[in-house]
Amino acid sequence: MTAPLRQSEPIVVPVALGERSYDIVIGRGLLAGLGGRIKALRGGARVAIVTDETLAGLHLGAAESALKSAGIDSARIVVPAGEGSKSYATFEKVCEAIIAARVERNDLVIALGGGVIGDLAGFAASSVRRGLDYVQVPTTLLAQVDSSVGGKTGINSRLGKNLIGAFHQPALVIADTALLDTLPKREFRAGYAEVAKYGLLGDAAFFSWLEKDWQDVFAGGPAREHAIAVCCRGKAGIVARDERETSERALLNLGHTFGHALEAACGFSGRLLHGEAVALGMVLALEFSAHKGLISASEAKRAAAHLAAVGLPTHLKDVPGGMPAADVLMDLIAQDKKVKRGTLTFIFVRGIGQAFVENNVSAAEVRAFLDRKLAGSCI
């Protein structure tokens, strides 16, 4: 795989879901054309924009201006920034605000933000008036390559992440790569974990390209747009084949079984961002695969070395404040959405780019592995 040529036009990635098909539009400066795209999608619609307090100061005004220039009336719904907004209380606030704005079934909700806003606004859209269409305008790398695509929406339970929600596909995804310029470096790195995930789970050539060219992705330009498009094409294909995660779509959870447990153990706080938890979870998943003899220790170390080079956590000791005992983590893992009849399901790999789903994984084996990792042992 080689670096792409400079793109003069947006990249369009279709998500083929029959009557519910939609496009992911990727390019720089797309927010300015938001009004035109919304008008073409749903002429005469009223719009409710859901965003957070941080993004309201960065991009909300531009979004509202773009809509106004196309003659589209909009209402703003602003919630606190951070994972804490994926809660019952904030979900209620957003639903009530959409209703108060008189957004009807033929109108639209716009999710202007990262994964938290996309999940929250999408879940509210799935519920208000028994279902409204919504448009994703992801503002983080993580959201542009992963959470804005595929229709998973939801909020967190005190027992775990994303345990309350619905499958509700967007009508359009607009990924303006210029919005990533305002991301703090830590947030961009965290999002990059999901970029690397697509290479590790199913595209060895892409992972090799990332090892060479990741700095260009961070710098912006065509390499960034190329990486986002590769990830979106990978996810779009999987979602088209397995929309409701009955089989293949579970592969997209590589690293998430461990990662979600680590994130919950940190209280969904700034101690460990979601992408950082995914990075650490992927390292653990590959090390567990090596422990089971599925891949060589050198391949697991290769993946960890790349994530570490980017600046992502790759050891449990990297998490500020430490980790709880293995029993606590196992209780959290037991709440994973992939658990079936009380048995654990994990995503393992047979090599870089060769992930697979394994059911009926021994809880005792997972606990013993975590005990060793918490004690600081290597592969």
Angstrom distances, CA of residue 132 to CA of 48, 99, 112, 375: 11, 11, 16, 49
Check if 158 is active-site: no
Nearest in space to 305 (alpha carbons), one of 287, 325, 328, 329? 287
Task: Tell me if 83 sits within 8 A of 270, measured CB to CB.
Answer: no
Check if 291 is active-site: no
Residue pointed to by tokens 């995804």? 173
Q: Which one is catalytic: 9, 19, 130, 185?
A: 130
Q: Could you tell me the end-to-end alpha-carbon distance of the chain, in angstroms, rounded to an integer?
A: 30
Task: Tell me if 260 sits within 8 A of 277, measured CB to CB.
Answer: yes
Task: Tell me if 258 sits within 8 A of 205, measured CB to CB.
Answer: no
The residues with which 164 forms a beta bridge, in sequence order, are: 155
Angstrom distances, CA of residue 33 to CA of 8, 40, 70, 174, 245: 15, 11, 9, 10, 33
Report phi then psi at 156, rounded to 5. Answer: -95, 150
Q: Which one is catalytic: 168, 224, 249, 337?
A: 249
Check if 245 is active-site: yes
Q: Which one is catalytic: 64, 187, 245, 287?
A: 245
Check if 225 is active-site: no
Check if 168 is active-site: no
Task: For residues 100 and 229, give the distance between their C-alpha atoms in angstroms, rounded to a whole number.
Answer: 37
Q: Which one is catalytic: 152, 168, 189, 373?
A: 152
Nearest in space to 232 (alpha carbons), one of 122, 325, 322, 142? 142
Q: Which one is catalytic: 28, 224, 226, 274?
A: 274
Please name the amino acid found at residue 193. A
User: 109-135: string of b/e by CB count within 10 Å (b at 16+)?
Assistant: bbbbbbbbbbbbbbbbbbbbeeebbbb
3-state secondary structure of 309: helix
Q: Which one is catalytic: 42, 86, 168, 256?
A: 256
Tokens (6 digits) for 107? 């109108």
Q: Which one is catalytic: 197, 224, 260, 373?
A: 260
Check if 359 is active-site: no
Q: Which one is catalytic: 161, 187, 253, 276?
A: 253
Residue pointed to by tokens 């036009």? 9
Q: Which one is catalytic: 28, 197, 235, 337?
A: 235
Q: Which one is catalytic: 194, 225, 276, 287?
A: 194
Task: Tell me if 230 sits within 8 A of 203, measured CB to CB.
Answer: yes
Check if 197 is active-site: no
Check if 86 is active-site: no
- Nearest 10 degrees: Cα torsion 355, 357, 362, 368: 30
Check if 249 is active-site: yes
Check if 260 is active-site: yes
348: part of which helix (H) or strand (E)?
A: strand 344-349
Annotated catalytic sites, by residue? Answer: 130, 152, 194, 235, 245, 249, 253, 256, 260, 274
